[in-house]
Amino acid sequence: MASVDIEECVQSKRLHHSNEYHSVSDEERLDIQCDLLKWYQLEKRTNMPWRKPTNKDCDIETLAQRAYEVWVSEIMLQQTQVATVIDYYNRWMEAFPTIRDLASADIEQVNTLWAGLGYYSRAKRLWEGAKKIVEKFNGILPNNARELQQEVPGVGRYTAGAIASIVYGEATPVVDGNVIRVLARWRAIHADPKKAKTIELFWQV
């Protein structure tokens, strides 16, 4: 995608300035990575069942199972609070512990388990995605963000990046509302965070 200029995102002419004002040096990038990782180690939540230590050198079956678990959690967490998702996730994994179990289920079973979580199209895409992964990839989710986004129904840039980085250790960007808030304050980006061009700018930062 073409590079986005900050002036395309900010309405007030008083706030226009060079993109270099928001650029990040390698040293700054390393500093904030270290700071954020330190903060995460102190503040991370430990009650989320999908958060498990992952070693990218594990055997392929173990990695495939972790990829499935992360995929389910990321889809459930879309526009839904963590506290709500935990119970649904646990029930889902009890009913469909593997991607093959999900693929062999019928849509009525899937929708029944999803009932109350909202946005039912998410459940259908998980089910359709599981069928495709079993049929085309022998039940193994792709190990990189590009292929995940291309091949798995309902998996966009964020979810693909989350699976690829958490499970397979790929160094790939992941931008959500939390990332946008941190970057906007850090780099003084006073633009509407909901606009498509602004979001693309954050992916480029």
Task: Dump pLDDT digits (tens) for 134-155.
Answer: 999 999 999 999 999 999 999 9
- Residue 58 is predicted with a pLDDT of 85
Task: Catalytic residue, from 74, 108, 151, 170: name it.
Answer: 74
Structure tokens at 188: 């003084």
Q: Is 74 a known active-site residue?
A: yes
- Residue 136 is predicted with a pLDDT of 97
pTM of the shown model: 0.80
- Residue 55 is predicted with a pLDDT of 78
60-168 CATH fold: Endonuclease III; domain 1 (1.10.340)
Query: Which position has the higher pLDDT, 16 or 198?
Result: 198
**pLDDT tens-place string over residues 8-46:** 555 555 555 566 666 777 888 788 888 888 887 887 777
Is a pLDDT exceeding 90 seen at residue 189?
A: no
- Residue 175 is predicted with a pLDDT of 74
Query: Which position has the higher pLDDT, 123 or 51?
Result: 123
**pLDDT tens-place string over residues 47-97:** 899 988 877 788 999 999 999 999 999 999 999 999 999 999 999 999 999
Per-residue burial over 88-113, b = 16 or more CB atoms within 10 Å of its CB, e = otherwise: bbeebbeebebbbebbebeeeebeeb
Cβ atoms of 86 and 108 closer than 8 Å: no
Domain ranges of the chain: 60-168, 175-204
